[in-house]
Structure 1
Amino acid sequence: MNPRNRNILIAAIVVIVVVVAGIIGVTSHKKSSANSKTVNIGIMTSTKQDDAIWKVVSKTAKDKYGITLKFTHFTDYTQPNKALQNGSIDLDAFQHYAFLNEWNQANKTDLVSIGDTMISPIHIYSSKYKDVKDIPDNATVAVPNDASNESRALYVLKSAGLIKLDVSGDALATPKDVTENPKHLVIKELDAAQTARALDSVAASVVNFNYATAAKLPENQSIYAEPINKDSAQWINLIAAKKSEKNNKIYKEVVKAYETAATKKAIKEQYPTGGELPAWGLKLK
């Protein structure tokens, strides 16, 4: 073979090898990317109990579905949904249905629930009385002042037999919806974080579980626990996604990794007194 032709042939073979290697490399990278399943979940800065529960969920997600869970922590309830909406995170898990519905209406967003997590019964606490029946006439009762938690607190007062409500449809309850208040209770609206601290200055206070935990309120100061009934559906915590991603296969697998017997066991181990309860599959009456 002519030396010149041989060199041309060799050069052509080298080019082909390089091109083929490049194609294989790109294909391999794409395949690797497709198989790399990492989901970033926005949660509130958590307790060691919550961390232990998410550790169990993360193990299930990795072992059964090949999904790596990463977490972005927030300290302000207004931040996770913003991060979800702008794509900074893939999912969030911090809110209940009432909060999500209120958020969507106020911010013109369409975030949706793709699965349930836990429900945290709230309590009426008092440092002065041992039973809700002991609360005297004209006493002051503190409730959270944000719309969804205030509504929840009013429903708890209703369940405790202290007031009656008349609320239309899915609307949140407000003090204006109180139709009967036989003890003429004064309902004092406070920032949710202040309800526990107000116990010394009020007859009783409706306190969210996380704030009761943070304030280290003793269990014997709880004089009434929120019942789990038909009113509870709106207080179930959830995993949220953008509406456009509600059928995302990987995100559905994250929900499956959460809603397991292993997670249920972890919740019960971490919250033996029922501060948090598994919420998926609850039968509400």
Structure 2
Amino acid sequence: MRKLLLAFTALFIAFTLAACGTTSAISNNGHTIKVGVAGTEEAEIWANIIQRGKKDGLNIKLVHFTDGNQINSATQTGQVDVNAFQHYYYLNQWNKSNHGTLKAIGKTYLAPTRLYPGKGVKSLKDIKHGDQIVIPNDPTNEGRALTLLQTIGFIKLKHDALATPNDITSNRLALKIIPVDAGQLPQQLKTVAAAVIDNGTAHDSKINPNSAIFVEPISSASSVWINILVANANKAHDPNLQKLVKLYQTTTTKNLYKKYYATELPAWDTKF
């Protein structure tokens, strides 16, 4: 019995050491990064980055959400390590409203928003007195959409920062500007004159960006709309997240944008 007990003990110790050795190898060589994303936009780009990440020992996993607020909350609490869905303006507003400590760790792309034609409209000239135009109803994109309509010359605003329809001071065509949920905008095109739709929603709804009748102009003021990779400030300098930024900001990624998302401009080495 004593010999059997000694043999069993030796076997147990050997098995435990082997298991510890395996665990150590995984933790040292395989780093999992959870990335919070919204919708299916950039699916082709992320698929490529995931494959390239494996060569650098990174296991990149996408975590899909339906709401930007949820993504930032999950990043704040550590449920995801980094997210890729928002621009500087949205991040700054979210941090202020939620006492957040999220930080941009790398630029991704700039996606000009667009005005798409609705029923009976083929150009800006077709928009008539009293027509309806729908815009996103979330504060950030609502203000951006109103600024777009001001740029066209349809309206004038008291100010551009987080503008709402109540800030319209002039509306020369007496347009009915109606904020609705962003996901409902594509369906509204069947009944309204036009809709301001962001690239992500347009992509998910398979709307041809070339059908837009007006595109947001790019200037130095566009920098606030540059999309970014975002992490909690306490993870901003994590070496694995820095690896992810480098993987993203490559010529390979630029070429993927040209192939799949020609309307989006790589922003990490471009001056606006």
Shared fold (TM-score greater than 0.5)?
yes
> How many residue pairs end up in the alignment?
263
Query: Percent identical across equivalent pairs?
Result: 37
- Aligned partner (choices 236, 247, 256) of residue 246 of structure 2: 256
**Residue-by-residue CA offset, 1:71-130 (whole Å, 9 max, x unaligned):** 212223332112212211111111222222222222221111101112222211113222
**What displacement does 1:27 show?**
8.0
Aligned pairs (5 A) from 1:178-257: 178-218=168-208, 221-257=211-247
Q: What's the Cα RMSD here?
A: 2.9
Question: Paired residue for 1:33, among 19, 27, 30?
Answer: 27
Measure the CA separation in 2 of the matches of 1:81 and 1:130: 38
Write the distance in 1 (CA, Å) between the matches of 2:204 and 2:26.
44
| In structure 2, distance between residues paired with 1:214 and 1:27 | 45
Note if contact 2:40-2:204 (Cα within 8 Å) is conserved in structure 1.
no
Q: Deviations over 1:154-193 (max 9, x none)?
A: 121122222233437xx32222333433333221111111
Q: What amino acid does structure 2 have at the position aligned with 1:85?
A: Q
Matched with 2:138 is: 146
Shift of 1:44: 1.9
Residue 270 of structure 2 is matched in structure 1 by 282
Aligned residue in 2 for 1:60 = 52
- Identify the residue that residue 156 of structure 1 maps to in structure 2: 148
* More divergent stretch after superposition (217-226 vs 258-267): 217-226
1:40-51 pair list within 5 angstroms: 40-47=34-41, 50-51=42-43
Larger Rg: 1
Note the residue ranges of structure 1 that are not aligned, 5 or more in a row. 1-10
Task: State the distance in 2 between where 1:212 and 1:78 align.
Answer: 20
Which residue identity does 1:56 align to in structure 2? N
The amino acid that maps onto 1:271 is Y
Structure 2 partner of 1:96: 87
CA distance in 2, matches of 1:189, 1:29: 52
Evaluate the alpha carbon distance shift between residue 69 and residue 136 of structure 1 in structure 2; reply closer, same or farther with a 3 A threshold: same
1:5 corresponds to which residue? none
Would the alpha carbon gap of residues 151 and 71 (structure 1) be closer, same or farther in structure 2, given more than 3 Å must change?
A: same
Letter in 1 for 2:199: F
Q: Which of 99, 107, 123 lines up with 1:108 in the alignment?
A: 99
SS in 1 for 2:231: strand
- The CA distance in 1 between the partners of 2:23 and 2:211, in whole Å, is 59
Match of 2:259, SS state, is helix
- Listed one character per residue, the Cα deviations across residues 28-81 of structure 1 (whole Å, up to 9, x for unaligned) are 85575233322111112425xx22211222233333x33221121222333211
- Between the aligned partners of 2:236 and 2:203, the Cα distance in structure 1 is 33
Aligned partner of residue 252 in structure 2, secondary structure: helix
Query: 2: distance between equivalents of 1:216 and 1:58?
Result: 24
Partner of 2:3: none
Give the counterpart of 1:173 among 163, 166, 179: 163
Structure 2 residue runs of 5 or longer lacking an equivalent are 1-5
Give the AA of the match of 1:40: K
